[in-house]
Amino acid sequence: MQIKFPQQIRFINIRRIAYALSMSMVVLSIAGIANRGLNFGIDFTGGYLSHVQFSEEVKIAELRQVLESHGIVKPSIQTLGQDQSGYPVIIRIREHNIGNQSLEENMEVAFEELSRAKPVIKKIEMVGPAVSRHLFKQTLLAFSIAFLVIIAYVGWRFGGGMWGVGGVVALIHDVVITLGVCAWTGTEISVITTAAFLTLAGYSVNDTIVVYDRIRENLRCMYKSPLLDIYNCSITGTLSRTLITGVTTLLVVIVLFIAGGEVLHDFAFVLLVGIIVGTYSSIFVASPICYDFYSHRKFGQRKSHWPTKLR
């Protein structure tokens, strides 16, 4: 099977529309982050999470009322429907005012009131303030350094200039929009979703590099053609690869999203959004930026590879 593309699709010609779309997405995302904030998980805020299995259905309102009567402040309760062993519920707590007793002891006392539904604690996650601060710092550090290294790599690989800038703009574009989607949907940002963000950063750069490689190759082979055609041909030439890799990666990410369970749900969601945005940006953002720059100026790092007349 093959998807037949024409020799060139005029992607570059509609770049202004793409810019407008991207700009508005970025603005919307920043608005979302500013407005709603990011929903940081207990890894970063500190708190308590427990995965409790009930043998019969317990109403969220009842559970909340029981927990609150034991001094637990604003528990966030998420029911996971029914599975073969009962009714699993996830309870997240950020703060509590219990005094002497530990939160867990108090939870146990609270659960005694619900003994008819035989609560079984399947999983406990507790992160103290010192640890959450440490994790936040550590993650931020890893994230920023990895980012800088990726940027440096792109810069080195393409000999600096606008190529590096284009790749980095596309990368930031992808990460900001994905963060924005997370803000609007309330997706939890935890240590594990951060891993998804870094993976997405790698994916985004990778996608851009494939298109750039082709553009640079075509600058050599098609040096008689107008720059516009070279860009369009290159994007079109790599289009099937861009789409197919996007599809295979999306396939597994969708599987993780649907069947990967609670732990991987948000992780897969970030990648899902990120891969779609990343695929879009490698076509509509990264290359057009380079085109705009190089078509206006006689500026190139490897002069011999450049046509004498740019248009």
* Nearest to 143, CA basis, from 197, 211, 186: 197
Binding pattern for the stretch 199-238 against other proteins, x by CB under 8 A and - elsewhere: x-xxx-xx--xx--x-----------------------xx
Size of the site for other proteins (CB under 8 A): 67
Q: Does 37 contact other proteins by CB under 8 A?
A: no
For 120, the 3-state DSSP assignment is strand
Figure out which of the listed residues 111, 163, 267, 291 binds other proteins, where binding follows CB under 8 A: 267
**CB 91 to other proteins: min, Å:** 14
78 contributes a contact to other proteins by CB under 8 A: no
Q: x-or-dash pattern for other proteins, window 117-146, by CB under 8 A?
A: ---xxxxxxxxx-xx--xx--xx-xxx-xx
Q: How far is CA 158 from the centre of its chain?
A: 25
Query: In degrees, to the nearest 5, what angle opens at C-alpha 89 toward C-alphas 179 and 122?
Result: 105
Of 152, 165, 148, 204, give the one whose Cα is nearest residue 299.
Answer: 165
Q: Does residue 35 touch other proteins according to CB under 8 A? A: no
Residue keyed to tokens 């750069």: 205
Q: Is the dihedral of CA 154, 306, 290, 218 positive or negative?
A: negative
Q: How far is the CB of 6 from other proteins (least distance, A)?
A: 13
**Does 7 contact other proteins by CB under 8 A?**
no
Please give the residues from 277 up to 306 whose contact with other proteins meets the rule CB under 8 A: none
- What distance in Å separates the CA atoms of residue 302 and residue 24, rounded to the nearest whole number? 35
Listing DSSP states for 77-110 in one string gives EEE---BTTBEEEEEEESEE--TTS-HHHHHHHH
Spatial distance between the Cα atoms of 16 and 179, rounded to a whole number of angstroms: 24
**Which residues are near other proteins by CB under 8 A?**
1-2, 51, 85, 104, 120-128, 130-131, 134-135, 138-139, 141-143, 145-146, 149-150, 153-154, 157, 191-192, 194-195, 198-199, 201-203, 205-206, 209-210, 213, 237-238, 240-241, 244-245, 247-253, 255-256, 259-261, 263-264, 267-268, 271
